Structure 1
Amino acid sequence: MIPIFEIAVGVVLVVGSIFSLIASIGLLRLKDVYMRMHAGSKAGTLGSGLMLIALAIHAHQIDVITRALAGVVFFLLTAPVAAHLLAKAAYEAGYRPCSDTHIDEMPKNDD
């Protein structure tokens, strides 16, 4: 393998693992379900996507590259939608934002 590709794979893997670490720390340290969901969906998606891109750079087989890039596209399309739907379901189930959230733009209608 060409040394520039090895360096690129290493850098992308390290950056992806840092984003995954940030996501896991965010899941442990943030206060409510909405903040945790934001950390998990944004940083986790970016971290796993970068690690799949590192796999695509490292692989020399077109089928592995195609599957890795399809995985990145799948993550980017599904994770934000799933996080939004889970947050909406949590709000409707009665989980309110913590006190650090100053504006609640989805007040519950008690009609």
Structure 2
Amino acid sequence: MSIVLFWDIISWVSLLGGGFFIITGSIGILRFPDFFTRLHPAGMTDTIGAALILFGLMVQAGPTQVSAKLGLILLFLFFTSPTATHAIAKAALRRKLWPVLDTDKPGYR
């Protein structure tokens, strides 16, 4: 196995893994019952899925200026995505939007 094939496999596994996280996160957003449980897959999808895709693209680009730019985007994403998710959750709590608990559902004993 050549080194080029090795890096291609690493890249495609990362790209497919990122796509998997984005698809499952999108399904999670649609399936969960309230705002706060929907916020979790949205934040995780944004951070993990996009990071895996950007890493796969960095491997495909090789050691070039494009990889450096993708790395800066990845670093920016790691700082801004959790911060934005936290800010959205805090804003929802300030607007008195409370999570749905099991005790709120009909038939709870």
Is residue 16–residue 46 contact of structure 1 (8 Å, CA) maintained in 2?
Answer: yes
How far off is 1:74 after superposition? 0.9
**Any idea what SS the aligned residue of 2:41 has?**
helix
Is residue 49–residue 71 contact of structure 1 (8 Å, CA) maintained in 2?
Answer: no
Percent of aligned pairs with the same amino acid: 31
Tell me whether 1:86 sits opposite 2:88 in the alignment: yes
2:18 to 16, 19, 30: 16
How far off is 1:26 after superposition? 1.2
Aligned residues: 102
In structure 1, list runs of 5 or more residues that go unmatched: 103-111
Tell me whether 1:47 sits opposite 2:60 in the alignment: no
Counterpart for residue 6 of structure 1: 8
Q: Taking structure 1 as the reference length, what is the TM-score of the superposition? A: 0.84
Q: Which one has a larger percent helix, Structure 1 or Structure 2? A: 2
Cα offsets for 1:4-37 (capped at 9, x unmatched): 1111111111111111111111111111111111
Counterpart for residue 105 of structure 1: none
**Any idea what SS the aligned residue of 1:94 has?**
coil
Q: Which ranges of 4 or more aligned residues in structure 1 deviate by more than 6 Å?
A: none
